[in-house]
Amino acid sequence: MSDLVELTDGDGVIEISAPSADRYASLKLIDWWDHAKLRRAKVMVVGAGALGNEVLKNLALLGVGYLFLVDFDTVEASNLSRSVLYRAEDAGKRKVEVAAARLREINPDVRVATFHGDVTQALGQGIYRRVDVVIGCLDNRAARLAVNRACWRYGVPWIDGALDVLMGIARVFVPGQGACYECTMTEADYDLVNVRYRCPLLRPDELQEGRQPTTPTSASLVAAWQVQEAVKLLHGLPVPAGKGIYINGHTYSTSLLAYTERADCFSHAQARAVVTELPLRAADLTVGAFCDAIAPILAAEGAENAALLPEQEIISHFYCLACDARTPAYRPYDEVMPDGAACPTCNMPRLPSILSRLPLSADSPATNVPLVQLGVPPLAVLQVAARVQGVECIFWFELSADAQSCLAAWSE
């Protein structure tokens, strides 16, 4: 039997793959379907819970070529009633690793790279620059806000999903086309986001303030809408940007949601970043080495008084009132506090000195501090502030040599 079926219309011959030879044969019957676009597409999925499982399953079935999966959690028994990719024997394993293995079983054509960690601070933002669409399967506002700001910064559309028992929302946000996720936030939402910064005693699982009970059926419904909108974006079809669909399983109804772009939205206020790629790895650099690498670039722009703007607040020193001792730290606030606040000599509380800017100069006391000690992840995009003709400007530098290791699975 031939692998191709030939049909003739007024314009000539149309070749359609035989169902026995091509897993995508039925999809290719869709008149606007371009499987080559999906095969080349790069999609980031943030969150591998009930919603993420359904999104990933759909993307794999459709043959989306490159997936990047982000989650910080491990599989537990409660996931088994809502997550199609996990099994009882997976308990305690990283969700991203289990999900990636199952996706390869579903469709060996799909290449899955993974990141086990916190999307808000530990993920190098260079990943966003290498994907076409981001799909959010998250259960807290802080993570949604971090994804939104990164997508707006690098011009990447993203699709948010949320669940609440028999109800759910799917909504599309496209930079430059109307409202973003931050435009939808209220003062109460900002207060909940700030809990993670005001309360360093809380564990990551205690910060999931948006977590709601879910069912696999509502996850299936919302994920279907999310992936459908992603497919439209990847094909260049119109999407309802700045809008969403609300699904009410109690009343068997749906509603269209339209959001208003806020004039004071911080995400919109960020100009789209123009990034300079540096062929360097985060693990190889000190603050001084990074300063030397960017010095010629800044000099060519006439930039002076450069300072690194870290994504996280940095504790530069601790001071003990009892011992009169000043001890350097140069570590992220959330990583050190509260356990590191006690003086190792007298066990009395110490005062931290907190930096939001780190001067970049040859005589900086942080010259020999490794970037990874400051919480800089692989494939980071670092912000540097400098004055050009008296005006402060922001420069963006990506540590691009990390891409090979971060996305190794994409080239397997």
Q: What is the reported pLDDT for 141?
A: 92
Question: What is the tens place of the pLDDT at every residue in 114-159?
Answer: 999 999 989 999 999 999 999 999 989 999 999 999 999 999 999 9
Share of the chain above pLDDT 90, in %: 78
Q: Are residues 216 and 105 in the same domain?
A: yes
15: in domain: no
- Whether 402 has a pLDDT exceeding 80, the answer reads yes
Per the structure, how many domains does the chain have?
2
pLDDT band at 170 (very low <50, low <70, confident <90, very high): very high
Q: What is the CA radius of gyration of the chain?
A: 24
Q: Are residues 175 and 95 in the same domain?
A: yes
Share of the chain above pLDDT 70, in %: 91
12: in domain: no
Question: What is the tens place of the pLDDT at every residue in 176-208?
Answer: 999 999 999 998 888 888 764 433 333 444 444
Mean pLDDT computed over 220-231: 97
Q: Are residues 221 and 369 in the same domain?
A: no
> Last residue of some domain: 241, 269, 297?
269
Mean pLDDT computed over 311-322: 92
For the four alpha carbons of 73, 79, 82 and 85, in that order, the dihedral sign comes to positive
Question: What is the tens place of the pLDDT at every residue in 251-292?
Answer: 989 999 999 999 999 999 877 889 999 999 999 999 999 999
Read off the CATH number of the domain in which 161 is found.
3.40.50.720
Q: Are residues 407 and 312 in the same domain?
A: yes
Q: Are residues 213 and 305 in the same domain?
A: no
- Residue 332 domain boundaries: 275-411
354: in domain: yes
20: in domain: no
Q: Are residues 227 and 285 in the same domain?
A: no
Q: What is the reported pLDDT for 341?
A: 81
Q: How far apart are CA 68 and CA 236, in angstroms?
A: 21
pLDDT band at 394 (very low <50, low <70, confident <90, very high): very high
> Last residue of some domain: 233, 254, 269?
269
> Last residue of some domain: 269, 291, 324?
269
Q: What is the reported pLDDT for 18?
A: 67
Mean pLDDT computed over 92-106: 98
What is the value of pTM for the model shown? 0.89
